[in-house]
Amino acid sequence: MTIETADLSFTVEDGETILGAARRNGIYLPFECGWGSCGTCKATLISGEIRYLLENPPAISERDRKRGRIAICQATPVSDVILRASVLERLPEHLQTRDVCAVVESIVEVTPDLTHFYLRPEEAVSYEPGQYAIFRLGPELRRAYSMANLPGDEAGLEFIIRRYPGKPGSEAVFRLRPGSRVMLEFPYGGAYFRMTGRPNVLVAGGTGIAPMLAIARALVARRADPGIGEFPHYLFYGARSPVDLAGLEALYALSARFPQLAVVPVVDVPDAEWRGETGLVTDVLERRLSEPWSAYTFYVAGPPVMVNAVVRRLRDRGVPLTQVYYDAFG
């Protein structure tokens, strides 16, 4: 596999994506979602043949296909391939993607649909809060799951995973048992926590709480650092109903340790006891944020409909997109 524009060659393993192989080799090609939807990873195929792991990635239009544009986060070569792609920079060593074997240590159901999985990696790992791992769950069955805790946590790697009955990735994860071994590729993802010297707003929907919980934990761990402790920060957490809010107690416990972190749960369908916010998370942001929106750094993760609505609202409110980090899934 050769990237003509940068005069770089590397080997891609069977069933591996071009993006994954590049990262394994310490080469940073731009990407965002990692699953074929955003288009950030598009590159031009100059020669050779590829096939997609996810057939017809949504980011690739008919026009792209005609112009030889491919989504390298889902493409794997089936011959020698030459690509035209922009290489941004070499990744710092701790963000280079590696394969790590991990053993499932415990599995804890927290809501009818959401389960915490704790995995013990067999070697030391590093990642930034907000990043995710790819679980290799079977031949060509790879799915992304975000770490919910900080690297080095003695509980191991914590994941919060939703069950989708009958769906292949979800079924394979929920077949894991304590003692099962899983091959992980990580770290992945550009929506990770940065020290920006601004107050932070975290917005999570559904399982998007996993990466936002990791970032909230980073804020609490670094609350004494300049640029964190002096600001108010927010975590808005949207779910369908109160029973779908996973780990709310853990979030309130973080807020008790660092009162500048306001935790704001939001539900679509309240029950009789619900006293919190209801409705669209975008409207709750309007009600709750105290500063002009361009004063904040935003991290957003959740279903594409929610993420797109939030990012659109941020743009309308004049927030530069360089201050917005997001991952859409769910």
- In the list ligand FES, ligand FAD, none, the entry touching 59 (Cβ below 5 to 8 angstroms by class) is ligand FES
Tokens of 3: 């990237």
Is the Cβ of residue 29 or residue 114 nearer to ligand FES in the bound state?
29
Query: Is residue 329 within the footprint of ligand FAD (CB under 6 A)?
Result: yes
Measured distance CA(103)–CA(174) in Å, rounded: 14
Supply the minimum distance, in Å, between the C-beta of residue 164 and ligand FAD.
Answer: 4
138 binds, among ligand FAD, ligand FES, none (CB under 5 to 8 A by kind): none
What residues contact 53, with CB distance under 8 A and at least 6 apart? 15, 17, 74, 75, 76, 140, 142
323 binds ligand FES (CB under 6 A): no
Name the residue type at position 153. D
Using CB distances below 5 to 8 A depending on partner kind, what does residue 190 bind out of ligand FES, ligand FAD, none?
none
Per CB under 6 A, which of residues 43..102 are in contact with ligand FAD? 53-54
Nearer to ligand FAD, 243 or 295 (CB): 243
**Pairing assessment for the beta strands 27-28 and 50-52 based on DSSP bridges:** unpaired
Residues 12, 27, 29, 34: which binds ligand FES (CB under 6 A)? 34
Q: Is the CB of residue 235 less than 8 Å from the CB of residue 202?
A: yes
- Among the listed residues 288, 121, 299, 140, the one whose alpha carbon sits nearest the alpha carbon of residue 217: 299
Sole binder of ligand FAD in the list 1, 119, 210, 251 (CB under 6 A): 210
User: In angstroms, how far is the first alpha carbon of the chain from the final one?
Assistant: 32
- Where does this chain touch ligand FAD (CB under 6 A) — which range of 117-125, 167-175, 178-186, 315-323? 167-175
Q: Counting contacts by CB under 6 A, is residue 31 touching ligand FES?
A: yes
According to the binding rule CB under 6 A, does residue 22 interact with ligand FES?
Answer: no
129 touches 150 (CB < 8 A) = yes
| Residue 146 interacts with ligand FAD (CB under 6 A): yes or no | yes
CB 299 within 8 A of CB 215: yes
Buried b (16+ CB within 10 A) or exposed e, 74-84: bbbbeeebebe
Residue 64 backbone dihedrals phi, psi, to 5 degrees: -55, -45
Q: Does 39 bind ligand FES (CB under 6 A)?
A: yes
Residue 59 touches ligand FES, criterion: CB under 6 A: yes
**Binding interface with ligand FES (CB under 6 A):** 31-34, 36-41, 59, 71, 73
**Binding interface with ligand FAD (CB under 6 A):** 33-35, 53-54, 132, 142-146, 159-162, 164, 167-170, 189, 207, 210, 327, 329
